[in-house]
């Protein structure tokens, strides 16, 4: 059973999140020539900061994202789905949550980037309504940057 509502990660999720990210990004190591940036993150610190969201499937963490509020946008730093959960729509569910979170925080857009070598993402994000905003070198990785405008959350 899939709990389709992302929830904030807890300290109990750190090991699962770390393992999920390693499994999801392992296939890119050879393409990039080194570990992708998400494989190097300190998920204990990120969970402690309250920036990690997870989606459960069958009682296990099957998808995750790191979403950080900035002054003028919500940065989605990482999205990862367990290889055995690909195709269940968990990436969409996580991005939808990011867009709602940005609206709730009165932020006008969601921004994210992907490595140029992660060619699947170059097709995926535009299908989800993200527009490419640029390309460049960041932290030693060749990145493609995307953004999506979001509507503010209704006022009550």
pLDDT digits (tens, 9 = 90+) for 64-98: 999 999 999 999 999 999 999 999 999 999 999 99
pLDDT at 58: 86
Q: Which tens digit of pLDDT belongs to each residue from 4-21?
A: 799 999 999 999 999 999
CATH superfamily of the domain spanning 2-149: Gcn5-related N-acetyltransferase (GNAT) (3.40.630.30)
Question: What's the order of all strands across the beta sheet hosting 109-115?
Answer: 2-8, 52-57, 60-69, 74-81, 109-115, 141-149, 131-138
Q: Where are the domains of the chain?
A: 2-149
Parallel/antiparallel/unpaired status of strands 52-57 and 60-69? antiparallel
pTM: 0.93
pLDDT surpassing 70 at residue 139: yes
Ordered DSSP codes for the chain: -EEEEEEE--GGGHHHHHHHHHHHHGGGHHHHTS--GGGG--HHHHHHHT-EEEEEETTEEEEEEEEEE-SSSEEEEEEEE-GGGTTSSHHHHHHHHHHHHHHHTT-SEEEEEEETT-HHHHHHHHHTT-EEEEEEEETTEEEEEEEEE-PPPPP-
What percent of the chain has a predicted confidence (pLDDT) above 70? 96
pLDDT surpassing 90 at residue 59: no
The average confidence (pLDDT) of the chain is 94
Does residue 41 contact residue 64 with C-beta atoms inside 8 Å? no
19: phi then psi, degrees, rounded to nearest 5: -65, -40
State the pLDDT confidence band at 3, using cuts at 50, 70 and 90: low
pLDDT surpassing 90 at residue 2: no
130: phi then psi, degrees, rounded to nearest 5: -85, 140
The stretch 52-64 carries a mean pLDDT of 94
Parallel/antiparallel/unpaired status of strands 131-138 and 2-8? unpaired
pLDDT at 1: 40
Residue with tokens 């999506």: 148
pLDDT at 153: 67
pLDDT at 152: 75
């Amino acid at each position: 059973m899939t709990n389709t509502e992302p929830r904030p990660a807890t300290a109990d999720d750190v090991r699962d999140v770390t393992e999920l990210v390693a499994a999801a990004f392992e296939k890119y190591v050879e393409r990039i020539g080194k570990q992708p940036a998400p494989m190097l993150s300190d998920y204990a610190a990120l969970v402690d900061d309250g920036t990690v969201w997870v989606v459960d499937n069958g009682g296990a963490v099957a998808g995750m994202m790191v979403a950080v509020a900035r002054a003028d946008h919500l940065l989605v730093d990482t999205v990862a789905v367990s290889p055995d959960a690909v195709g269940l729509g968990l990436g969409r569910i996580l991005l939808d949550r990011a867009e709602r979170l940005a609206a709730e925080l009165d932020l006008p857009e969601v921004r994210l980037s992907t490595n140029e070598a992660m060619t699947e993402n170059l097709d995926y994000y535009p299908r989800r309504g993200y527009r490419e905003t640029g390309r460049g070198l960041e932290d030693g990785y060749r990145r493609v940057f995307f953004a999506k405008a979001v509507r503010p959350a209704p006022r009550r």
